[in-house]
Chain A
Amino acid sequence: MKVLVPVKRVIDYNVKVRVRADGSGVDLANVKMSMNPFDEIAVEEAIRLKEQGTATEVVAVSIGVRQAQETLRTALAMGADRAILVIASEDVHQDIEPLAVAKILAGVVKEEAPGLVLCGKQAIDNDMNATGQMLAALLGWGQATFASELKVEGEQATVVREVDGGLQAIRVRMPAVVTVDLRMNEPRYASLPNIMKAKKKPLEEKTPADYGVDVTPRLSVVKTTEPASRKAGVMAKSVDELVDMIKGAGLV
């Protein structure tokens, strides 16, 4: 079984984002970019499936600017076998909407015929939490979102999902789309020799036109603003003082 892992290049989770004063968006020039943390977990899971003999090949795919190559090289250094880069934009500030991403991924799936697509549950830049579900819909496949455990057993997979009430276990028919949550695994670090080896692994470049997809956005960004900020309050010197403050504010 082939596993396809879509990986997104996003602003590193440690970077404090800055909203541009003119409201046009967030400054992404010269900031540290990394693989979306959820996608590292998806890559790790795919590699483990290969190590267990369940998967035969792991293909990483990224859609975005040319610089997303670096993200794909990271996936290759972790252990993916090859990569596909779909160059859909020249400008780092132009994000491609999940619907367009899902349509491109559906095109990749038709060519590659994977038995499983492992996505992240959400990208930490736009926090849409949508792409995997949209891809499953377009393919007419089953979906198992927010997965913390995945067991592939022949024609089906058993997935434990993190939901509002706790956990839910479901069985989904393969091929399927699974989106991974934080507690599925601890992704490995790529070793230096593997980073070197990754440079020689195949990375194919494509465009949305190769899949006949129009990436024109459906949502236009009217403006981007800073959220209301909070100010630091008062420090209590003792528990007694804190109790007085809490009671004084009518909080209990």
Chain B
Amino acid sequence: MATLLIGEVTDGQLGLDATAKAVTAAQALGEVHVLCAGASARGAAEQAAQIQGVAKVLVAEDPALGHRLAEPTAALIVQLAASYSHVVAPATTDAKNVLPRVAALLDVMVISDVTGVVDADTFERPIYAGNAIQTVKSSDPVKVATIRTAGFDAAALGNSAPIEAAPGASDPGLSQWIEDRTAHSGRPELTSAPVVVSGGRGIGSKDGFAIVEGLADKLGAAVGASRAAVDAGYAPNDWQVGQTGKVVAPNLYVALGISGAIQHLAGMKDSKFIVAINKDAEAPIFQVADFGLVADLFTAVPELTEKL
């Protein structure tokens, strides 16, 4: 049986990077079908059809599916699940909202944040903020899993898989969308950017983040933050990197005024190169940094931005 992969569709657009990385992970399980669901999803389906390794794309368009509400989306997936051995999705907030609901409706466990596929039943996943890696084997008839995409390369494009309409599902009408409050910075997306520059409590204020953003823009990087910086209101919630925020693994991660708590490291320690600037030589971030500089960030970062 094949794997049903839930494509990441937001306002009709496919999250191509996340979906293509999840395809790479899912290919180890056999044939991959991608479901694109939304109020409009045809464009997303056409993009998904280009991903190498995709055998078929299912498209479900319905106003009820428009804002990734859990109940109608789960109802649709459950209806399709009978013909699949695996139901997987990139571990985005949308998938983490929907897939556990799908799993419970199918009376199976969900396997969250898979970082490795050992075989069709066996998966690796981090626990305890990434301080341990657990290998779990599922005895369920259908495996429902979210894939932590940071560890997988995106599948290439150039395919033209057939696109079919998925049967409609009924909306239980339990929730209603009111609004999305999203800001578009024009910067690369945090979870797929090759370079990430993050600021912590050491940045000291919302205005102080201009220093972080200045370096990020110089490097064409995405901007991240520690929980402390988000809690203090210096940075928006969707910039949070860590155990309970986003997990990133860029080529270069620059940590500015971040101490390096395990909960933060959980979200960035798989980065290829880590550079840290902190005024405290004892900060734990230096234990994972490839290059470190003990300095006051308010003078060092503008100088670095200028000289790079």
Give the interface of B toward A (CB within 8 A): 10, 67, 69-71, 74, 92-94, 96-105, 107-113, 122, 126-140, 172-183, 191, 195, 219, 227, 230-231, 236-238, 243-244, 246, 251-252, 262-263, 269, 273-275, 277, 286-295, 300, 303-304, 307-308
* Distance of A42 Cα from B174 Cα, bound (Å): 22
Chain A's nearest CB lies how many Å from the CB of B302? 9
What string of 1s and 0s marks CB contacts (under 8 Å) between A215-227 and chain B? 0011111111111
* Distance of A167 Cα from B181 Cα, bound (Å): 5
Contacts of A219 in B (CB 8 A): 109, 111, 136-139
Contacts of B133 in A (CB 8 A): 224-227
Cβ-closest 8 pairs across A and B: A142-B174, A133-B100, A233-B290, A134-B104, A137-B104, A130-B100, A166-B182, A169-B178
Contacts of B178 in A (CB 8 A): 158, 169-171
Contacts of A128 in B (CB 8 A): 100, 110, 112
**Of A125, A137, A222, A238, which one neighbours B105 at CB under 8 angstroms?**
A137
**Of A102, A131, A144, which one neighbours B175 at CB under 8 angstroms?**
A144
Is A165 in contact with chain B by the CB < 8 A criterion?
yes
Chain B CB within 10 Å — which of A131, A132, A182 has the most? A182
Given known A-B contacts A99-B108, A130-B103, A168-B181, A230 and B269 have beta carbons under 8 A apart: yes
Complex interface residues of chain A between 111 and 166 (CB less than 8 A to chain B)? 121-122, 124-138, 140-146, 148, 158, 161-166
Chain B's nearest CB lies how many Å from the CB of A132? 8
Given known A-B contacts A224-B134, A246-B291, A239 and B175 have beta carbons under 8 A apart: no
Complex interface residues of chain A between 193 and 240 (CB less than 8 A to chain B)? 217-227, 230, 232-236, 238-240
* Number of inter-chain CB pairs below 8 Å: 264
Sample (11) of A-B pairs whose CB atoms are under 8 Å apart: A19-B132, A38-B244, A133-B100, A140-B172, A167-B182, A182-B231, A183-B237, A219-B137, A227-B133, A242-B275, A243-B307
Is A11 in contact with chain B by the CB < 8 A criterion?
yes
Q: Helix, strand, loop or mixed for chain A's interface?
A: mixed
* Distance of A122 Cα from B182 Cα, bound (Å): 23
Contacts of B300 in A (CB 8 A): 239
**Of B174, B182, B290, which one neighbours A141 at CB under 8 angstroms?**
B174
Contacts of B269 in A (CB 8 A): 227, 230
Is A21 in contact with chain B by the CB < 8 A criterion?
no
Query: Are A240 and B307 touching (Cβ within 8 A)?
Result: yes
* Distance of A221 Cα from B138 Cα, bound (Å): 9
Is A97 in contact with chain B by the CB < 8 A criterion?
yes
Query: Are A142 and B71 touching (Cβ within 8 A)?
Result: yes
* Distance of A235 Cα from B285 Cα, bound (Å): 12
Is A98 in contact with chain B by the CB < 8 A criterion?
yes
Residue ID in chain A nearest B109 by CB atoms: A218
